[in-house]
Amino acid sequence: MKIGLFGGSFNPIHERHMEIIKDVLKKGLVDEVWIVPCKKHPFNKTLASEKSRLEMIKLATKNIPRVRISKIELKSKGKSYTLKTSRKLKKKYRHDFFLVVGSDVLYEIKKWYKYEQLLRETRFILFKRKDYLIKKIKEMKIICVIGKGKGNISSTEIRKKIKSNKPVKNLIPRDVEKYIQKTNLYK
């Protein structure tokens, strides 16, 4: 089975995340998308609780078939590193794994943990992001580029809007917005 691994903080999951997931599945690039929320961000970003982030992901994806949530990083100790996660999954399952990443990653991947090994061991599905041109990275195996590079949505900006009581309509799924309001998250 072909599995698209879509990792991130999902703090909160937003509409651009949803677009990526749906696009990868619609194009038949993979059989399933596994969302992999990180436990502790490698760049030390402050995150909402695991429970809250998991609940928001569940709410956002509840009506999308062929999407699973992998808790592999949440069960690990320390920071979440893509290379370690990928290796653990390959050891546990006999699937073909592909990393689903935005084109912004091309500008920061050299900061990732043992990125050269990751590039040698991994195939990528790249999603175009506005203001991030596709550039070649030696040894990076990109099997497909998808998306139209529409405007970016930032979880950081969403959190700022919520904290300032500004509307987030059309930025996050409605059920996620209701959950955030109900739990007073990001206030």
Q: How many domains does the chain have?
A: 1
Measured CA to CA, the distance from residue 37 to residue 8 in angstroms comes to 5
Q: What is the CATH number of the domain that holds 56?
A: 3.40.50.620
Q: Which long-range contacts (CB under 8 A, 24 or more apart) does 73-79 make?
A: 73/7, 73/36, 73/37, 73/38, 73/39, 74/37, 74/38, 74/39, 74/50, 75/39, 76/39, 78/39, 78/40, 79/39, 79/40, 79/41, 79/42, 79/113
Residue 165 domain-assigned (yes or no): no
Measured CA to CA, the distance from residue 54 to residue 81 in angstroms comes to 19
Residue 96 β-bridge partners: 2
Residue 138 domain-assigned (yes or no): yes
Q: What residue numbers bound the domain in which 90 lies?
A: 2-152
Strand 96-102, strand 123-127: pairing: parallel
Distances from the Cα of 69 to the Cα of 34, 101, 150, angstroms: 5, 16, 26
Residue 167 domain-assigned (yes or no): no
The H or E element containing residue 98 is: strand 96-102
Amino acid identity, position 30: V
Residue 168 domain-assigned (yes or no): no
Mean pLDDT of 100-112: 92
Do the beta carbons of residue 142 and residue 126 sit within 8 Å?
Answer: yes
Mean pLDDT of the chain: 93
Q: What is the pLDDT of residues 31-86, one digit of tens each?
A: 999 999 998 876 667 899 999 999 999 999 999 999 999 999 999 987 889 999 99
Tally of helices (H runs) and strands (E runs) in the chain: 6, 6
Q: What is the pLDDT of residues 132-162, one digit of tens each?
A: 888 889 899 999 999 887 778 889 999 999 9
Residue 163 domain-assigned (yes or no): no
Return the C-alpha torsion angle 122, 128, 129, 134, nearest 10: 80
Measured CA to CA, the distance from residue 6 to residue 85 in angstroms comes to 11
Q: What is the pLDDT of residues 163-177, one digit of tens each?
A: 999 999 999 999 999
Residue 166 domain-assigned (yes or no): no
Output Rg (C-alpha) for the chain, integer angstroms: 16
Residue 53 domain-assigned (yes or no): yes
Residue 183 domain-assigned (yes or no): no
